[in-house]
Each structure stands twice: as C-alpha cells, then as structure tokens.
C-alpha cells in the first residue's frame, strides 16, 4: 500500500471509539477530538485538574493550588501543597483487587506485572505482588545504606526484571533514580554519576547483547576511579562469571535484597519532590540532567498511556527500549499505573534471527508494540516473510517515537506488522518533558507519518522565525504554556536550561524540532532544526532528503549532512546503507543524486552519495549526523559514549574530505 502525508490511512471504529479518552470526552460534554484538543490547549489548568481527577491519582495530601507561575513560565510549580508518590500509585494501590478510583480499578497481587525475555528465549515473570515485594526490599537496602529522600541512586543495569524493581525501590523511599544505559562506557557513566552525586549504584556482573557478554562491572570499576563520592555498588549476579570485587564497596544484589524486609512506601513526598534525573544523550558537551518530579512525571506519563494507548489491565505492552532511554521508565510507570503487563527484552531486535520481536509478540500475546523508525527500517531489509511467519493478531495498537518517519517504512510497519488494522500511535516529545508534545488519540483519523494532534494540555504550535503561528508550512515546534512534566531546569545548570528552551522565543518553550500542522490539525515532524542545511539560500532538513533516498528500493537507510561549498554555502553529502544482496555502483550513485534533485529541486541535488555498511546511532536509534559530519570533515568527533556503534564511523573515515 502506498500513501502520502495527505492521506488518512486509518479511521477509528469499534473498540477505539469506546476508549478511555472517549469516556473522558463524554463526561465533559465534548463532541469530538478537535474540541477536546482545543479546550485542553486553551484552558490547560482545566485539563490537568480534570485529567488528574479522572485518572484517579492517590494523593496522601490533596494539593492546595494547581500551579504557581510567580517565578515565570520556566519555573512553574505544580500541585502546590500536595503529597504523592509514584510507587504508591503504580504498585501499592494495585495490591488489593477491586478498588476503584477515577477511571481505574486495582488489579490485585496476582495480576501479571512484568514479562522478561532474553535473546536465547529464556523468560521470567513477576506479578504485582512480587514486583512490589522486591521493590520494597530494594527500598529497605537503600535505607540501610544511608540513602535518604532526595539522594540520587544510579541504575546501570541490563533490561532484566530487577531493573524495574530498582526503579520503583528508589521511588518508594523518595530517592532520585538516575537510569544510565548499560551500553555506555566508563566515561559516560562517570559523568552522570558525578553530576547527580549518587552515592549508591546498582549494576550487574555482565550484560548480554547479540550473543556476546558485556562486562559492565569493569566499566563501573573504571568509572569509580573518578567518583570519590560513590560509596556502594550493588551487583546483580546475572551471568555468574568472575568479576573484579572491591571489598567494603561492592555488595551482591541477591544477598542484601533477599535478606531485607520490604520497607513501606514513603507517603509524605511533596508533589515537586524529584523522582528521576534523566540525562539527554548528546554526543558532545556535558550531558544535561533533566529533573522530573513525582506529580509532574506521573501526570504526563499516566495521561499518555491512558489516553493515547488506552492501556487496560488485560493489555500486554512491549516497547523496545532500555532503562537509560526515557521510554524505559515511561512504560514502566505508565503501564503499571493502569494495571497492565509490560514486556522487557534484553537484546537486539535482529538477533539471533530477524523475527525475534515478532516471535515475542506472538508468544506473549502482545497488544501494543512500540519501536523506533530506525529499527523498522532495519527489520524491513530482511523481507516481509519474517513478519508473516507469525500470528500478530493480538496487536491492537502500534507505537513509535524517536525521529521522523519516511512514508515507505511507515507504511511497511502499518501494512505488515499491524495488518492495516492497527493505528500507529506516533508520539514525540523528549527527555526534557518525560513525555509528548504531539500525540494521536484512538478516536481520531490518522494520516501517514503524522503525530496526530497537540498533546492534551500542552498548547503546542508551529512558529515561523518571527514567532508567528503558521499552518501548512515547516516551522519551529513550540509549547506556549507550561506543563507539569517539563524539567525543573537542568541539574546544576539553570542558565543552560533557559538558553536552550526560552531564548529563541521569550516566554515560549522552543523544542528544537521542525514541524508542520495542516488544515485538519495533523502534525508532522521533519527533524531537528539545528540540523538544518542551507544550500544556495534554500533551507532543507536532512530528514527531508533522507526520506527521498530510502524510497529507492535498493536503499535501507540514509544520513545526510551539509559540508562547506565555496559557491553554494553548503552542499549535501549523503551516506546510504544498501539492502541485502545489492551492489554499489557509479550508476546507482548517479541515480540517487538525480532522484533527490527531481523530488526536491535541482539546487538540492547532492554533491556525492557514499555507500557505507552501517550508520552510527544512539541506543534510541537516532542517527548522529553531527558526529558523521565532524568525522567527514576531519574534525575532532568528541565524546562517543552515547554512540552504540562507534565502529560505524570507521567506514566514514576513509571517505573524509582531504
């Protein structure tokens, strides 16, 4: 099936029209989704107060004031005077079945909370009771180690069941969780633990990926040399191979956690108490620590999992993610809030066979699958037959985030994985919001590659350079009013926070994405605005060119950069990965160059197209164009700790400008 971004490819019917957001609309007398988005944007205070009440938040003390803007938009405080704990809402409240609060009903101790699978097919499961008990024991261990409410705790672990318990254990005791991707090296780990001042770090002996063991404990030991404030390292015996051991500092997870009596959840946390420091994964410069609160993070995450993904207790929710990417904590918190079951996977989506994900969907009866566009582009190269071998009929929703889609890959996902019947709930926001600026709803028609409408309660718009609202043209994605989950600055760096989000359009959150909204209210993304290339006075986003390139049947992936040109200012240089069994040739290179020129205009015809084996990416699947550009131009590439496959840069090095 082919489609363009003007085509509606999915219309809501049946169960989608009876979703939770439809119930919310009915309760407030709203006739359709357009009216809901408009009211929630025009009156964000009405929305957040109504949504939190509808969702059935458990406050240990009700808030006195919804928001306090006396410090200005960037420093807005939410749910003033209230006390709440994420863990109490997601785990404790679920333990006795049948309680009702707002739109949810508690599921009981024996309801399945978590399914884990490894690359080798091994599985483990935890009920809500078992997950709560393990989290309570982690909380007790933290207390015994001297961790108090407000202290940071590092989490540098593979995607195993214990990582979920550690996250909730931190939340239970009021500690601030600092998740770090276990594929990062010692330098990246040290930077995040030093910045957050964590005194306790949870890790494992080894991780597993693509059939190989990764000695993450070695990276901990290396990082610890630069961390005099790190007092304790709690090590999960995941593989069992011998590791370096530091007496007095290192503790075995099973020994200390199994021996502990579960600690009660701390219930008197102020609404603005920090819950997580989530670090952005830029490839240069100091990582930015985003500060998220208990009430703010829960409000945004519960809204998205409840209103966009309509998570119910019988749902099995699988987002291909890691604890170090915000989508990890996002699914863990959001799905358990609504009493669903999460699936977590330790491994790569193409190993040991290209159908490992489709096997998991079939075996675990997954109802919602979320994945990045990059991963879909990779899986698509193996052919449709790997998908069609499996029964994916339990799926009712697909999810995606992380980057802009190209139409061919989007439609492959829609047609082959979703069987043309599941909506792609394509969301976009960021670590800084621990949620979305843009999100579809199950009651709205969906156009190919779109992100639905503005996130509920977010007052999102598209601005031109002068700060005017525009339609049907590419501009800057902005948010005109504060929202509960926006980061409380950057940890220890308030000036950088203000410069990043509030310097371009004073009094407005500038997100840094190119976007467009059409007359029907459908939003589309076109990549990061700081990636923009100016060729002979014409601005173009790399994603626009990349989308053209991957339409070619022989191309799997593409990355585009701008390089200095004495006449044009910038010229386009493209890097493409070929589909299997396709040979590179001068004829194909010429064909691709002229294809871009025909689609986008002759002035944007690339100078050259390079064929490479792979493209360097972050763990979340984002292509690191800035790093590619620096390598190509022979400039220092900077810190590569957030790049999952830095070896991919080696294929670019011989092509570099001399």
CATH number for position 642:
3.30.300.30
In this structure, how many other beta carbons lie within 10 angstroms of the beta carbon of residue 27?
Answer: 11
Beta-bridge partner residues of 446? 10
Q: Are residues 169 and 309 in the same domain?
A: no
Query: What's the average model confidence in pLDDT over 605-629?
Result: 87
How far apart (Å, rounded) are the C-alpha atoms in residues 378 and 399? Answer: 16
- The pLDDT value recorded for residue 86 is 98
Q: Is 146 left (phi over 0), alpha (psi -120 to 50) or beta?
A: left
Q: How much is the pLDDT for 619?
A: 67
- Cα–Cα nearest to 601, from 544, 553, 557: 544
Give the pairing of strands 569-578 and 608-611: parallel
pLDDT at 78: 98
Residues 6 or more apart whose CB falls under 8 angstroms from that of 642 comprise 181, 184, 188, 281, 282, 283, 618, 619, 624
Structural domain total, the chain: 3
CATH of the domain at 60: 3.40.50.12780
pLDDT computed for residue 43 by the predictor: 98
Average pLDDT, stretch 398-411?
Answer: 90
Asked if residue 119 belongs to a domain, the reply is no
| Confidence (pLDDT) at 4 | 60
pLDDT, position 5 = 64
Residue 378 has pLDDT above 50, yes or no: yes
| Confidence label for 59 from pLDDT (cuts 50, 70 and 90) | very high
What are 409-448's pLDDT values in tens digits?
999 999 999 999 999 999 999 999 999 999 999 999 999 9
* 115 occurs within a structural domain: no
Amino acid 620: pLDDT: 64
Query: Domain boundary residue among 527, 562, 588?
Result: 527
* Other CB atoms within 10 A of residue 45 CB: 11
pLDDT tens column, 586-602: 999 999 999 998 888 78
- Whether residue 270 lies inside any domain: the answer is no
612: tokens are 């490479």
> Under a CB-based contact definition with an 8 Å cutoff, are residues 624 and 649 in contact?
no
Residues 408 and 497 in one domain: yes
Q: How does residue 185 score in pLDDT terms, banded at 50, 70 and 90?
A: confident
What pLDDT, on the 0 to 100 scale, is given for residue 282? 46
- How confident is the model over 287-323, as pLDDT tens digits? 899 999 999 999 999 999 999 999 999 999 999 999 9
pLDDT tens per residue across span 531-562: 778 887 777 778 878 988 998 999 999 999 99
Q: Does 427 share its domain with 508? A: yes
| Inside any domain, residue 286 | no
Burial class (CB in 10 A: 0-12, 13-18, 19+), 26: exposed
Looking at 527, 542, 561, the residue that finishes a domain is: 527
HEC-encoded secondary structure of 486-505: CCCCECCCHHHHHHHHHCCC
The strand order across the sheet containing 523-528 reads 460-463, 475-479, 509-517, 523-528
431 and 306 belong to one structural domain: yes
For residue 264, is it within any domain? no
CB atoms within 10 A of CB 87: 28
Q: Are residues 427 and 523 in the same domain?
A: yes
621 located within any domain: yes
Residues 545 and 518 in one domain: no
- Asked whether the predicted pLDDT for residue 645 surpasses 90, the reply is no
pLDDT for the residue 569: 82
Confidence of residue 486 (pLDDT cuts 50, 70, 90): very high
Residue 279 lies in a domain: no
> Any idea which of 11-15, 211-215, 340-344, 563-567 has the lowest mean pLDDT?
563-567
Q: Is the pTM of this model over 0.85?
A: yes
For residues 179 and 310, membership in a common domain is answered with no
Q: Which domain holds residue 188?
A: 128-258
Whether 252 and 178 map to the same domain: the answer is yes
At 638, is the pLDDT very low, low, confident or very high (cuts 50, 70, 90)? Answer: confident
Residues 238 and 310 in one domain: no
- Assess whether 515 and 538 both reside in one domain: no
Q: Give the CATH number, domain containing residue 210.
A: 3.40.50.980
> Are both 188 and 103 inside the same structural domain?
no
Domain's final residue, options 258, 283, 302: 258
Residues 438 and 417 in one domain: yes
Higher pLDDT, 655 or 146: 146
pLDDT of residue 658: 56
Question: Is residue 606 within 8 Å of 593, Cβ to Cβ?
Answer: yes
423: tokens are 């909506």
Residue 273: inside a domain: no
């Amino acid at each position: 099936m082919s489609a363009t971004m003007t085509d509606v490819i999915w219309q809501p019917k049946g169960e989608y029209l009876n979703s939770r957001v439809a119930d919310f609309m009915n309760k407030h007398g709203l006739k359709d989704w357009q009216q809901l988005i408009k009211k929630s944007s025009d009156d964000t205070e009405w929305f957040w107060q109504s949504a939190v009440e509808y969702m059935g938040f458990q406050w240990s003390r009700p808030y006195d004031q919804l928001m306090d803007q006396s410090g200005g938009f960037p420093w807005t405080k939410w749910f003033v005077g209230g006390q709440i704990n994420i863990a109490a809402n997601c785990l404790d409240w679920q333990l006795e079945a049948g309680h009702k609060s707002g739109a949810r009903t508690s599921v009981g101790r024996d309801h399945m909370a978590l399914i884990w699978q490894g690359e080798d097919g091994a599985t483990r499961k935890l009920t809500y009771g078992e997950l709560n008990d393990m989290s309570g024991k982690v909380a007790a261990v933290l207390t015994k180690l001297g961790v108090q409410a407000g202290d940071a705790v590092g989490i540098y672990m593979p995607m195993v069941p214990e990582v979920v318990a550690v996250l909730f254990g931190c939340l239970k005791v009021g500690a601030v969780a600092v998740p770090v991707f276990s594929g990062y090296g010692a330098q990246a780990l040290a930077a995040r633990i030093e910045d957050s001042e964590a005194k306790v770090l949870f890790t494992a002996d080894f991780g597993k990926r693509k059939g190989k063991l990764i000695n993450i404990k070695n990276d901990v030991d290396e990082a610890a040399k630069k961390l005099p404030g790190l007092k304790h390292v709690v090590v999960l015996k995941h593989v069992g191979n011998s590791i370096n051991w530091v007496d007095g500092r290192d503790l075995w997870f099973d020994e200390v956690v199994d021996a502990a009596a579960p600690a009660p959840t701390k219930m008197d946390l102020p609404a603005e108490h920090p819950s997580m420091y989530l670090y952005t994964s830029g490839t240069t410069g100091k990582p930015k620590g985003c500060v998220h609160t208990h009430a703010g993070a829960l409000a945004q995450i519960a809204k998205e999992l409840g209103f966009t993904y309509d998570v119910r207790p019988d749902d099995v929710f699988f987002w291909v993610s890691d604890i170090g990417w915000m989508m990890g904590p996002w699914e863990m918190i959001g799905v358990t809030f609504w009493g669903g079951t999460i699936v977590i996977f330790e491994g790569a989506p193409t190993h040991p066979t290209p159908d490992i994900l489709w096997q998991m969907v079939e075996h675990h009866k997954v109802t919602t699958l979320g994945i990045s566009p990059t991963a879909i582009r990779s899986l698509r190269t193996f052919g449709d037959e790997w998908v069609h071998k499996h029964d994916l009929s339990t799926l009712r929703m697909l999810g995606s985030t992380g980057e802009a889609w190209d139409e061919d890959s989007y439609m492959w996902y829609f047609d082959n994985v979703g069987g043309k019947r599941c909506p792609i709930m394509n969301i976009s926001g960021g670590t800084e919001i621990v949620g979305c600026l843009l999100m579809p709803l199950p009651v709205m028609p969906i156009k190919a590659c779109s992100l639905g409408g503005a996130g509920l309660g977010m007052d999102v718009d598209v601005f031109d350079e002068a700060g005017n609202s525009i339609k049907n043209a590419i501009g800057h994605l902005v948010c005109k009013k504060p929202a509960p989950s926006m980061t409380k600055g950057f940890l220890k760096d308030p000036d950088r926070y203000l410069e990043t989000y509030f310097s371009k359009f004073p009094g407005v959150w500038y997100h840094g994405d190119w976007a467009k909204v059409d007359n029907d209210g459908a939003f589309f993304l076109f990549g990061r605005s700081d990636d923009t290339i100016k060729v002979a006075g014409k601005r173009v986003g790399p994603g626009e060119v990349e989308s053209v390139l991957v339409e070619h049947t022989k191309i799997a992936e593409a990355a585009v950069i701008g390089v200095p040109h004495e006449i044009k200012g910038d010229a386009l240089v493209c890097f493409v990965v070929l589909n299997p069994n396709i040979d590179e040739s001068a004829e194909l290179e010429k064909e691709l160059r002229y294809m871009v020129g025909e689609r986008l205009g002759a002035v944007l015809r690339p100078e050259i197209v390079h064929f490479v084996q792979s493209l360097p990416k972050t763990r979340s699947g984002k292509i690191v164009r800035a790093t590619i550009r620096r390598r190509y131009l022979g400039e220092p590439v900077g810190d590569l700790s957030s790049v999952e496959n830095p070896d991919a840069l080696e294929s670019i090095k011989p092509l570099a400008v001399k």
